[in-house]
Every structure is written in C-alpha cells, then in structure tokens.
Amino acid sequence: MKSIKILERLLAAIPIMIGVAILVFLFVRLTPGDPVDLMMGSAGSVSQQEIQALQEEFDLDKPLHVQLYIFLKDVVRGDLGDSFTQREPVTDIIGRALPATIELAFGAAFFAVLFAIPIGVYSAVKQNSITDRLSMAFSFLGISMPAFWFGIILIIVFGVKLGWLPISGRLDYGFNFPSVTGLYLIDTVLARDWPALKNAVLHLILPSIALGMQLLAVLARVTRSSMLEVLRQDYVTLARAKGLREFIVIVKHALRNALIPTITVLGIQIGVLLGGNMIIETVFAWPGLGRLAVDSIFSRDFPLIQGVVMIYAFTYVIANLVVDVLYTYINPKITL
C-alpha cells in the first residue's frame, strides 16, 4: 500500500521535472552573456569561422524552439548534454559532485539534529532556567550568524590556529578505494579502508558544523516550543499517572509527539541544505554541486547549469517524499 503511494508520488514528479527543465532552459538563455564569447575569452584573434564552428557544435546556431526540442528529447532519455567548458557529459560531472553535496548535507543535518533535539528538550523541561536562557540566546546567535562567516571562523580557529582538523576538500591525497556510491563514508567502509574513513570523517566535520549551525539553532527552537506545548497535554499527565519514570515520560511519550514539527522543518531545510550550500562549498573547497553551480553560471555553461538546477529540483522532491514517508511513521494520523 505504502509502496504504491510512493511510486505514485515519484511518477507525479515527472511533469514537475519537465516543467523545471523548460523553465531553466529558458531562463539560462535569457540571462545576458554569451558562452562562446566567454570561452574564447581574451584570446584576441579569434576568427569568425572558429566562433561559428563552436556555435554549431553546441547547437547554439539553431532557433530556440529547436534547441528546446533537442534538449527535452535528450532529457527524457536521461541525457543532459555535454558541458561546454569541460567537454564531458553533464551527467558524469554531476555524478561526481552530487555525492559530495549529499554527504555534506547529511553531515550538517546529523550535526544539527544530534545537538538540537537534546538542547530543545532540555530547555523545555527546564523552562526559564539558566541553561534554557543561555541555549536560546545562543540559538538566536546561530540563526542570525552568516554561515560563511562562521565557516571562516571555524577554519581560522580549528584549522589554522589549533591545527586539529582539515579545512579543505573531502580527502587528503594518497587514499585509494573503489568508488561505489561516491559517498566516501560508505565507500571506505565497503573497502574496509579505516584510515581513509577516518580521514573523510575529519574532513567532513568543519563544513558540516558551518553548514548545520543555523539548522541546529532553528531545530532547537522548534523542538523546545513544541515540547513545551506537548508537556502540557493530558497524555503526558496520564503517562505520569501510570507510574512511568520522568525520563521515559519525556523521551517516549512527549518527544515522539514533539518531533512532528521538528521533522517538518527538517524536511524543508534538507532541501535548503542540498541546494543552498554554494558558499560553504566554496569556503571549504568542497567539490560538490554548489561549486559546480557557481562555476557553470560564471562560464555560461548552459547544459551544466540546466543539469545542476534539475538535480536540485529532483533532490528537493525526493527529500520531501522521504520526509512525508517518515511522517507517517511518527504520526499515525497521517497517511501518504
């Protein structure tokens, strides 16, 4: 039953993706700047023939509707075209960058959830205590602090001054393990290459903290306020009246309910984490989609921009679906 609904939702994503494809195709061509010009750069003596040859190679000489037709026809077959600048299939380029972004997004979400929920719960249980006030003040700081600035601070303190953690890239040189999923944390485990795993984890820590800090702050606040609401409910009193220990009352009876809003926010934010980390990826030289997006926009690499945007849209759809499925497990009143 549930799997049929999930399949339905995936099928419903197809028209959305086609819509996204058309929109991004048009917007990319509406923005000023010509890819061929940029590619020639300041080479100086470029002949008209050379320019024409390039335009032909990229189909840029054809009328717009023909270009769109070619593009959509390829998209349906799972072909996003070749990158203008890298002369390589866009799918291959994205295939290398996407796992990096996913790994970072999950690292950030993991960091945020790991701390936000205990902080939120504790603050609610000890409402108005010093701990509560302090953590809420810090969460306010976390929300208002720009992520790139925080990232730079982390780099300076933990990378440069203390030298505890690596500050750029996903891995040091010299490691070699087969790429199965592209997610280093999984691939290293599959290869049982523990030093590489440790190295990948260390690389993940600072960017995850930088990217996840705002989410941590938001989730802590959401968890606190929904927990405060839930703790006032009759079913919590009933749990106590049954003779349960306070810890069980809070973690089992109250938290399960309080997490519903937290998961909603997390679901929305996961999309943001996947799509909004261009700055963090740039700061930490993280070879992910964000950096790819920035580079492709600067070079007007149309196929690459289109591919990146479509992948963003797709991951967003998937993230939402995952959250909705998760939702049905945590809130029995909701079905897909």
Judged by the rule CB under 8 A, the positions of this chain that interact with other proteins are 233-235, 237-245, 253, 256-257, 330-333
Which one, of 235, 293, 222, lies nearest residue 264 by Cα?
A: 222
Q: Which is nearer to other proteins, 320 or 331 (CB)?
A: 331
Q: Which is nearer to other proteins, 125 or 143 (CB)?
A: 125
The amino acid at 209:
I
- As measured in angstroms, the least distance from the Cβ of 327 to other proteins is 11
- As measured in angstroms, the least distance from the Cβ of 240 to other proteins is 6
Distance (Å, whole) CA 74 – CA 84: 16
- As measured in angstroms, the least distance from the Cβ of 130 to other proteins is 18
Distance (Å, whole) CA 332 – CA 256: 11
Residue 187 tokens read as 């691939």
- As measured in angstroms, the least distance from the Cβ of 249 to other proteins is 10
Residue 269 tokens read as 């934010």
CB-based burial of residue 7 (10 Å sphere; 0-12 exposed, 13-18 middle, 19+ buried)?
exposed
Contact indicator for 115, 208 with CB cutoff of 8 Å: no
* 8-state DSSP, 284: T
- As measured in angstroms, the least distance from the Cβ of 333 to other proteins is 5
- As measured in angstroms, the least distance from the Cβ of 331 to other proteins is 7
Q: Which is nearer to other proteins, 157 or 334 (CB)?
A: 334
Q: Which is nearer to other proteins, 114 or 238 (CB)?
A: 238
Q: Which is nearer to other proteins, 100 or 323 (CB)?
A: 323
The amino acid at 300:
R
- As measured in angstroms, the least distance from the Cβ of 256 to other proteins is 5
- As measured in angstroms, the least distance from the Cβ of 257 to other proteins is 6
Distance (Å, whole) CA 65 – CA 116: 49
Q: How far is CA 278 from the centre of its chain?
A: 10
Q: Which is nearer to other proteins, 128 or 176 (CB)?
A: 128
Q: Which is nearer to other proteins, 198 or 256 (CB)?
A: 256
* 8-state DSSP, 183: -
Which residue has 């936000």 as its token pair?
116
With a CB cutoff of 8 Å and minimum separation 6, the contacts of 189 are: 197
Coil, helix or strand at residue 285 = coil
Residue 5 tokens read as 């609904």
Contact indicator for 212, 111 with CB cutoff of 8 Å: yes
Q: Which is nearer to other proteins, 62 or 240 (CB)?
A: 240
